[in-house]
Amino acid sequence: MLEELLSEFGDHQVQYPEFDPDTMVLTNYHLKPGLYVRLNEDGSKEEIYIGKKTEPPENTPLVDWFKQADFASSLIEMNKPVDPKKQIHSCNYLSLFCKRDTFWQDGNVHPKLPEHIERYFAALSAVKDKESARILATAGYGPLKEEQVAAGKERFLASLAEVGELVKAYNIKDNSYVKLFLNASLETYIYESGRYLLPRIFNNNKYNVEVGGNVFGLSNTDMGMNAKKPYLEHKTTQFEVPYRITAEEAVLLRKLFLWLNGQTREGKVVYGGYVQVGVHDPGLLVQRRDVSVRKPVVYLHFDRRMDLSVDHYDFLPSFADRMDRPVTFRNFVDAPKYQGGKLDRLSAVEAHINENLYAFQLVRSYDEERIQVTDKLPQVLASQIVLSREAMRAWLRKGDSLPIQNSVDRMTKGVILARLQNLEYVPALGHALNVRFSLLNYFDKGGNDMGYAIEETYRGLKEKVLNTEKRKESAACQNAVEFYLAVGQLLYYYFSLSEAQKLHYDVLWRGIASAKDLEGIKKEHWKYFQKYSYAIDTNNPRFNNMLSVVSSYTPEQDEPINLDALLYGFAANSIIYYKEDSNEKD
């Protein structure tokens, strides 16, 4: 995985020479909150302060200089410091980074800061071990000149009082950074960063081998092997580690992950995307809607909790956001405010399903190991998301519809039943049913006309119930779909008679939806009829006709419960409350 990403990162520079790795990293590099001070040789200084909620001005020479110098002076991670006690967080003799509380105490420069600076510069002058000395020598680095180190240390020590006045002037109270830089060429900063990086760029130098004058080791980027993770070591093979790369490749890989970590879009942090394989667009990491023409890509998702890591990776030999066959989301239930239509992009289909079927809970739960249960996300819905999210992601993020084709019926029904436990508005059920019927029809390539059949039967039931002047026999039930539609309609009518301030539709899930057979459905219906019979007018012909449909249905043989028709009847416009408008009368 890492070698493939590294290859595409290198190829991008060949295809777009203006975007060399360093430029790509610095374009997306963000300075951390804190005070940045450049110390000039004539004793003057220049500074900027970046608050936690402010951004530095863009395209200014000083800010650009700070970005490059900060990038070249930052630690790989806190487990690989120069200062043994981890109080100073920079990595060369040209810079001095520390947290505000390390620099400042009780309105003055911290009394222990000079001690920290002495220890830091002593560590810079000493080579860590023989392996580090060998790596540096192989790369052409000689020992640091003592006079350079001493001169840098003295300039920092001499500036502490003046920098302390800046800390006081900017009223820095939070524990953000205080970062000091000597005004040297950026080429010198980059060269000195190599002195720190090369011996520490690998996970552990004990795994290094030298081949043909090059040092190969285990990358530290997105890879960990230590005493706490012994299972990662290959115990039964002649090689101990999964793979090795050169130090130069390890540095380039670190730059790739720094660049990925800085990716934003429309002001928001990016948590994933697609790396095009072979011929690239100008942006190496693109979003789904940018891939309009089919091409091979790598799908990535990032974990940003500590350092950035890739927690989901998949090679897609042929992918495009534009679909070969669009999905038509039809308003079968005639639900109000349902924005259906023909959608031909996976990104649009995902947004529609996420909103109308999953109540905005699917996309945010794609990569959660443990989905947090909330008032809007009950445990039963979280369980259904866990069961269905990989199939949904395979289709909607990777273009692979195979996992969902044979499970769309079970998955969509499970989600809808789970939604009943937390259903705030009946139209939301109608929106979810529209998505279910549309997906069933789509994946059966038009052969599954369940939604159309129920919709047509509903029209017939409506005509039958509203026709109150004909003989009573006209209200007899014709088939199972009509029976379940009528049950759903009556249940909604009973709920409408409730005097409770807040209705809890989860009784549908506990009772009606969990019934074993038709007799169980009739028993649940009779329970609600008895509960609300006190409020029903016996001279209501529409109710009487609907009740006649339910009461008259007796199948000749056992048949499965049609929950789709029942829920459709509950979510559709109430026939009992139906009012004709002037157009229908005409």
pLDDT digits (tens, 9 = 90+) for 336-392: 999 999 999 999 999 999 999 999 999 999 988 889 998 889 999 999 999 999 999
Enter the tokens of residue 175: 């524990």
pLDDT at 585: 47
Q: Among 570, 536, 264, which Cα is nearest to 425's?
A: 570
Enter the tokens of residue 401: 């519809």
pLDDT at 541 over 50: yes
pLDDT at 235: 59
C-alpha span between 73 and 68 (Å, rounded): 9
- Planar angle of CA 48, 49, 54, nearest 5 degrees: 120
pLDDT at 308 over 80: yes
Of the candidate ranges 128-132, 323-327, 330-334, 554-558, the one whose mean pLDDT is the lowest:
128-132
CA distances, 432 to each of 133, 246, 338, 357 (Å):
65, 53, 10, 4
pLDDT band, very low/low/confident/very high, at 27 (cuts 50, 70, 90)? confident
Instruction: Kindly state the percentage of the chain with pLDDT values over 90.
Output: 53
* DSSP per-residue string spanning 490-559: HHHHHHHT---SS--THHIIIIITT--SHHHHHHHHHHHHHHHGGG--TT-HHHHHHHHHHHT---SS--
Average pLDDT along the chain:
87
C-alpha span between 451 and 550 (Å, rounded): 21
Give the model confidence (pLDDT) of 485-534 as tens digits.
999 999 999 989 887 767 777 777 677 877 889 999 999 999 999 998 88
pLDDT at 301: 93
Phi, psi of 86 (to 5 degrees): 60, 30
CA atoms within 13 A on the CB side of 29: 23
pLDDT band, very low/low/confident/very high, at 228 (cuts 50, 70, 90)? low
* DSSP per-residue string spanning 147-172: HHHHHHHHHHHHHHHHHHHHHHHTT-
Give the model confidence (pLDDT) of 386-435 as tens digits.
999 999 999 999 999 999 998 999 999 999 999 988 888 899 999 999 99
Helix (H, G, I), strand (E, B) or coil at 313: strand
pLDDT at 583: 52
Give the model confidence (pLDDT) of 7-20 as tens digits.
888 888 888 888 77
pLDDT band, very low/low/confident/very high, at 247 (cuts 50, 70, 90)? confident
C-alpha span between 89 and 179 (Å, rounded): 9
pLDDT at 586: 42
pLDDT at 127: 73
Strand order across the 209-211 sheet: 209-211, 214-217, 245-246
- Residue-level length of the chain: 586
pLDDT at 230: 60
pLDDT at 468: 65
pLDDT at 469: 65
* Span 81-100, average pLDDT: 94
Give the model confidence (pLDDT) of 315-346 as tens digits.
999 999 999 999 999 999 999 999 999 999 99
C-alpha span between 247 and 250 (Å, rounded): 5
pLDDT at 582: 45
pLDDT at 363: 94
Q: Where are the domains of the chain?
A: 2-253, 323-448, 452-585
Q: Among 545, 566, 555, which Cα is nearest to 487's?
A: 566
Contact by Cβ (8 Å): 178, 160: no
C-alpha span between 418 and 409 (Å, rounded): 14
pLDDT band, very low/low/confident/very high, at 238 (cuts 50, 70, 90)? low
Question: What number of other Cβ atoms are within 10 A of residue 231's Cβ?
Answer: 6
Q: Among 31, 17, 575, 56, which Cα is nearest to 262's?
A: 31
Contact by Cβ (8 Å): 150, 161: no
